[in-house]
């Protein structure tokens, strides 16, 4: 699981790959097996904006200290609601030894020379940067101490720090960081690998409940999101693409459109074949966005829809049912002899599971402001999760050099993986290039839902055997996914470590593909968010078939703790699935929820599931009630997670974990994108419902803080909640949910 999870991390496509991998993520094994970053990272490169600032002294790319002791700390990764603009400065502040009240957080400009990989994805911000940012802060502290030692002409070893001041105890004197900053900025930077770090017991900031640094601006409605960007002389645009993915422009009533109020230009844009890149479309540019969007109502386009106009959800399901009867096209993992074990099993259980395509539906629609200047220089303001990918796609699409493009990262109104893609960015650039003026492109909600980079649907055909004692002796999954010639499409894959692989002696994981031409990609906990539903639901079926309590059955399946595998991934050495850590979270969540000790009324049930993804161990219990007409309501979710030693900021951490669980429930209760004649059917939130206040459960979040490296938590809490809900519905009704989203008609008893 470990390598697969990490391999799901966003790939920087195009020419930026060398930068992100070679120079910045040369990882090596650290004590305890965590990620340890290569400290040759160019920490001391001054960021372009930092270097130009006046007043505050720049100690390194992350630290500026002003004479008034205000410390500006840089968050290098995009802020998408995961709280990184708060978390990263907290880590630096801890080692720099300053009071949080004197810290001002700032988002970094896009500047890989100074900051290396800058992205929000894969729950990787903390594991990839925790150690490095501690060292950056400690290096700053060291430089301040050296500066004071020079000033007082005493050995640095006689000096120490208290928050914001260097202290010389022997002479009972102090000097503030603000007073020292100018001098410290001229001190040669220390060797990062040798700079002393704090004893973790002495952390004063890490582990504190600290509110989001931008929140005071958000409650006042300040314009800090991508959609709020305003540039002098800016026009507004919409961009309409063929409803069938990759369809080509033939003709349109553009003369009519050009006469509509406020419309400045209407023209076709020629695109390519990359479904996540610039596709054929029609741009309408107007004085105001509303005018451009209103003009869309009158737009009539003739498209050459191409071969995928035959795609339909029904057709996919029929194909899957046929393929599911055949042997898998490709083996993912094969242990022992499944057929022989099934033949001699005391009990054989067979079931098929299905989940739909879903959209990210970030609340801030896709948007970008771009200015393609006449001199060939391009400036972009965009809410992106992956600026390197954006830069790569822009330079490739328009034949530019990186030095021609300036990319400003704005706050992001929800990422969930959608803004790892840059389709909406190249569209804005293409429109600005055509009109020669700055333009703000904003998608409407229909375009957003119908041109997502979807979480792909999938089908699982399971067969498992239990022996007379109810032990799983054989396990088979034929995963029918989307792709070409048994090569899964983007985010449609399954790895060889999918649990219960290596925990059942005879196991066979295989896959086959249904050809498709629909853009797919990562959505919060990619693959895991779907695989967890299928596997942890089927495991629940096995528990019931074995006549065992679902918690006990899972603990038996997990077995006695054994040393985890050490795996080589493209992100360095990683520790694989640690069944001991998972046992602990399963036991803890059973305990906290009072599993098996609570009498529940008729129609109410509890389910459990666990899942390992993104290096995080999560077990969750859901209590759900099902009304006689089949309506599902989730009362409460209990979550226990183990993401290592530190919860850097419990304020954001707990919020995000609770949010991930409710997000998973939201998808399970009603979300699906269906296709007919090659196009997505759903147009807005009445057809693609997101969970609302009245449906949102209570969530009890608890962390087991273990002596393991600190890892990320934006994603791993999501996958287990979906099967825990399905299993709770089974406990409440005796009806097994094998298809998402949950259909109340299937659960109706009255």
Cis bond before residue 500 (omega within 30° of 0): yes
Shorter beta-carbon distance to other proteins: residue 102 or 447 = 447
Nearest approach, Cβ of 230 to other proteins (angstroms)? 7
Q: What is the DSSP string of 437-463?
A: S-EEEE--HHHHHHT--BBP-EEEEEE
The distance of closest approach from Cβ of residue 614 to other proteins in the complex, given in angstroms and rounded to an integer, is 17
Cβ-based neighbours of 694, under 8 Å, separated by 6 or more: none
Which H or E run includes 151? helix 125-152
List of long-range contacts for 342-346, beta carbons under 8 Å, 24+ apart: 342/463, 342/465, 342/474, 342/476, 342/506, 344/465, 345/465, 345/466, 345/467, 345/473, 345/474, 346/465, 346/466, 346/467, 346/468
Interface residue with other proteins, options 509, 668, 699, 740 (CB under 8 A)? 699
**From CA 360, how far away is CA 107, in angstroms rounded?**
24
Q: Which candidate, 522, 516, 528, places its Cα nearest to that of 483?
A: 516
Q: Is 593 in the site for other proteins (CB under 8 A)?
A: no
One character per residue 250-279, x = contact with other proteins (rule: CB under 8 A): -----------x------------------
Q: Does 220 bind other proteins (CB under 8 A)?
A: yes
Strand, helix or coil for residue 473 = strand
Which whole-number Å values give the CA distances from 596 to 33, 552, 641, 667, in the listed order? Answer: 36, 11, 20, 28
User: What's the min distance (Å) between Cβ of 214 and other proteins?
Assistant: 7
Q: Contacts with other proteins in 325-364 (CB under 8 A)? A: 361-364
Residue 424 in the binding site for other proteins (CB under 8 A)? no
Instruction: Decide whether 411 or 645 has the Cβ nearer to other proteins.
Output: 411
Q: Is residue 715 involved in binding other proteins (CB under 8 A)? A: no
CB nearer to other proteins: give 390 or 699.
699
Please return the burial class of 527, using the count of CB atoms within 10 Å of its CB with bins 0-12, 13-18 and 19+: buried
Sign of the alpha-carbon torsion through 212, 218, 222, 226: positive
- 703 binding other proteins? (CB under 8 A): no
By the rule CB under 8 A, 596 interacts with other proteins = no
Please provide the distance, in angstroms rounded to a whole number, between the alpha carbons at the two ends of the chain: 43
Q: Using the rule CB under 8 A, which residue among 50, 212, 392, 644 binds other proteins?
A: 212
Q: Is 594 in the site for other proteins (CB under 8 A)?
A: no
**Closer to other proteins by Cβ: residue 89 or 140:** 89
What is the size of the binding site for other proteins (CB under 8 A)? 67
Say whether residue 515 binds other proteins (CB under 8 A): no
Per CB under 8 A, the segment of 295-303, 351-359, 463-471, 660-668 that binds other proteins is: 660-668
By CB under 8 A, tell whether 378 contacts other proteins: no
Among 5, 498, 642, 663, contact with other proteins (rule: CB under 8 A): 663
Please spell the DSSP secondary structure of 691-704, one letter per residue: P-GGGPPEEEEEE-
In the bound state with other proteins, the residue whose beta carbon lies nearer, of 447 and 520, is: 447
Half-sphere exposure of 307 (CA within 13 A, CB side): 4
Of the two residues 524 and 736, which places its CB atom closer to other proteins in the complex? 524
Specify burial of residue 51 (Cβ count, 10 A radius: 0-12, 13-18, 19+): exposed
Interface pick for other proteins out of 170, 692, 707, 745 (rule CB under 8 A):
692
Cα 224 to Cα 207: distance, rounded to the nearest angstrom:
27
Q: Residue 299: phi, psi to the nearest 5? A: -75, 130
Binding to other proteins by residue 298, rule CB under 8 A?
no
* 658 near other proteins, rule: CB under 8 A: yes
Q: Which range of residues in 338-346, 488-496, 694-702, 732-740 is near other proteins by CB under 8 A?
A: 694-702
Query: Which are the contacts of 599, defined by CB distance < 8 A and separation ≥ 6?
Result: none
Interface residues for other proteins in 66-95 (CB under 8 A)?
Answer: 80-83
CA distance 291 to 270: 23
Q: How far is the CB of 641 from other proteins (least distance, A)?
A: 16
Detail the DSSP E strand segments found in 96-247: 103-107, 159-162, 165-168, 173-176, 235-241
CB atoms within 10 A of CB 308: 19
Name which position in 247, 365, 438, 644 contacts other proteins (CB under 8 A). Answer: 365
Measured from the CB atom, the residue of 319 and 690 that comes closer to other proteins is: 690
CA-to-CA distance for 220 and 115, rounded, in angstroms?
31
Which one of residues 100, 289, 675, 730 is an interface residue with other proteins (CB under 8 A)?
Answer: 289
For the bound state, the minimum distance from the C-beta of residue 37 to other proteins, rounded and expressed in Å, comes to: 27
Q: Give the one residue of 10, 109, 387, 659 binding other proteins; rule: CB under 8 A.
A: 659
Answer yes or no whether residue 742 interacts with other proteins by CB under 8 A: no
Q: Which stretch binds other proteins (CB under 8 A): 146-154, 450-458, 479-487, 688-696?
A: 688-696
Instruction: Classify each residue of 137-168 as buried b or exposed e, where b means 16 or more C-beta atoms within 10 Å of its C-beta.
Output: bbbbbbbbbbbbbeeeeeeeeebebeebbbbb
- With binding defined as CB under 8 A, does residue 227 bind other proteins? yes
Buried b (16+ CB within 10 A) or exposed e, 621-652: bbbbbbeeebebebeebbbbbbbbbbbbbbbb
Binding flag, residue 651, other proteins (CB under 8 A): yes
Least distance from other proteins to the Cβ atom of residue 155, Å: 44
Q: Which two tokens stand for residue 574?
A: 């990683």
Q: Does 621 help bind other proteins (rule: CB under 8 A)?
A: no
Q: Is 125 in the site for other proteins (CB under 8 A)?
A: no
Q: What distance lies between CA 284 and its chain's CA centroid?
A: 32
The half-sphere exposure of 107 on its side-chain side, counting CA atoms within 13 A, is 25
> Which member of 223, 436, 594, 596 binds other proteins (CB under 8 A)?
223
Compute the least distance from the CB of residue 34 to other proteins, in Å.
26
| Residue 656 touching other proteins (CB under 8 A) | yes
User: Minimum Å distance from CB 622 to other proteins?
Assistant: 11
Helix and strand counts by DSSP (H, E) for the chain: 21, 32
Give 216 or 376: the residue with its C-beta nearer to other proteins. 216
636 touches 658 (CB < 8 A): no
Residue 255 Cβ, how far from other proteins at the closest point, in Å?
Answer: 21
Q: Which residues bind other proteins (CB under 8 A)?
A: 80-83, 209, 211-212, 214-216, 218-223, 225, 227-228, 230, 236, 261, 288-291, 293-294, 361-365, 411-416, 442, 444-445, 623, 635-636, 651-652, 655-656, 658-663, 666, 684-686, 690-694, 696, 698-699
């Amino acid at each position: 699981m470990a390598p697969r999870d990490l391999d799901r991390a966003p790939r920087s496509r195009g020419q930026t790959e060398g930068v992100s991998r070679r120079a910045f993520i040369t990882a090596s094994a650290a004590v305890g097996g965590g990620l340890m970053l290569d400290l040759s990272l160019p920490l001391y490169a001054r960021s372009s904006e930092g270097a130009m600032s006046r007043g505050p002294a720049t100690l390194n790319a992350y630290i500026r200290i002003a004479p008034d002791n205000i410390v500006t700390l840089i968050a290098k990764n995009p802020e998408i609601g995961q709280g990184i603009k708060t978390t990263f400065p907290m880590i630096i502040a801890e080692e720099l030894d300053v009071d949080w009240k004197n810290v001002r957080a700032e988002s970094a400009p896009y500047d890989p020379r100074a900051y290396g990989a800058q992205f929000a994805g894969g729950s990787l911000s903390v594991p990839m940067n925790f150690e490095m940012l501690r060292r950056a802060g400690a290096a700053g502290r060291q430089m301040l101490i050296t500066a004071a030692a020079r000033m007082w002409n005493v050995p640095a070893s006689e000096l120490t720090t208290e928050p914001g001041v260097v202290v010389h105890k022997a002479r009972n004197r102090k000097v503030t960081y603000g007073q020292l900053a100018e001098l410290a900025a001229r001190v040669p930077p220390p060797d990062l690998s040798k700079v002393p770090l704090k004893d973790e017991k002495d952390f004063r900031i890490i582990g504190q409940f600290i509110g989001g640094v931008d929140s005071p601006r958000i409650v006042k409605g300040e314009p800090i999101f991508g959609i709020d960007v305003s540039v002098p002389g800016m026009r507004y645009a919409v961009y309409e693409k063929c409803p069938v993915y990759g369809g080509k422009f033939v003709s349109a009533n553009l003369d009519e459109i050009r006469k509509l109020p406020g419309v400045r230009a209407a023209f076709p844009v020629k695109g390519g074949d990359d479904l996540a890149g610039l596709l054929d479309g029609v741009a309408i540019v107007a004085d105001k966005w509303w005018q451009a969007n209103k003009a869309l109502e009158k737009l009539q386009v003739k498209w050459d829809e191409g071969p995928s106009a035959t795609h339909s959800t029904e057709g996919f399901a029929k194909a899957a049912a046929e393929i599911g009867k055949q042997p898998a096209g490709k083996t993912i993992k094969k242990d022992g002899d499944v057929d022989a074990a099934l033949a001699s099993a005391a009990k054989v259980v067979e079931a098929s599971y299905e989940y739909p395509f879903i959209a990210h539906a970030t609340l801030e629609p896709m948007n970008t402001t771009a200015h393609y200047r006449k001199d060939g220089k391009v400036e972009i303001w965009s809410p992106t999760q992956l600026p390197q990918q954006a830069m790569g796609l822009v330079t490739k699409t328009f034949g530019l050099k990186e030095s021609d493009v300036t990319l400003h990262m704005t706050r992001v109104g929800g990422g969930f993986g959608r803004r790892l893609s840059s389709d909406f960015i190249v569209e804005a650039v293409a429109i600005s290039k055509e009109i020669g003026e700055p333009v703000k492109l904003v998608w409407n909600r229909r375009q957003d839902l119908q041109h997502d980079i979807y979480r792909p649907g999938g089908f699982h055909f399971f067969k498992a055997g239990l022996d007379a004692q109810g032990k799983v002796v054989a396990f088979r999954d034929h995963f029918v996914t989307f792709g070409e010639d048994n090569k899964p499409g983007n985010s449609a894959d399954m790895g060889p470590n999918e649990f219960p692989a290596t925990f059942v002696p005879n196991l066979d994981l295989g896959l086959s593909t249904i050809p498709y031409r629909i853009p797919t990609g990562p959505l919060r906990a990619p693959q895991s968010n779907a695989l967890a539903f299928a596997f942890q639901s089927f495991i629940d079926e096995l528990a019931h078939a074995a006549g065992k309590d679902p918690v006990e059955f899972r603990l038996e399946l997990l077995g006695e703790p054994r040393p985890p595998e050490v795996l080589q991934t493209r992100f360095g050495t990683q520790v694989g699935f640690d069944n001991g850590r998972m046992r602990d979270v399963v036991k803890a969540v059973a305990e906290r929820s009072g599993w098996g000790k609570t009498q529940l009324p008729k129609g109410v049930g509890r389910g459990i599931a666990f899942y390992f993804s993104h290096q995080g161990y999560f077990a969750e219990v859901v209590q759900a009630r099902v009304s006689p007409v089949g309506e599902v309501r989730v009362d409460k979710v209990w979550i226990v997670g183990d993401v290592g030693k530190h919860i850097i900021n419990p304020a954001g951490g707990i919020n995000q974990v609770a949010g991930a669980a409710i997000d998973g429930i939201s998808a399970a209760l009603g979300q699906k994108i269906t296709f007919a004649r090659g196009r997505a059917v759903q147009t807005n939130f009445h057809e693609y419902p997101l969970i609302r206040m009245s449906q949102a459960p209570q969530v009890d979040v608890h962390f087991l803080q273990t002596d393991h490296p600190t890892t990320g938590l934006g994603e791993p809490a999501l996958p287990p909640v979906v099967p825990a809900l399905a299993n709770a519905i089974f406990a409440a009704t005796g009806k097994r949910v094998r298809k998402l989203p949950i259909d109340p008609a299937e659960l109706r008893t009255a």
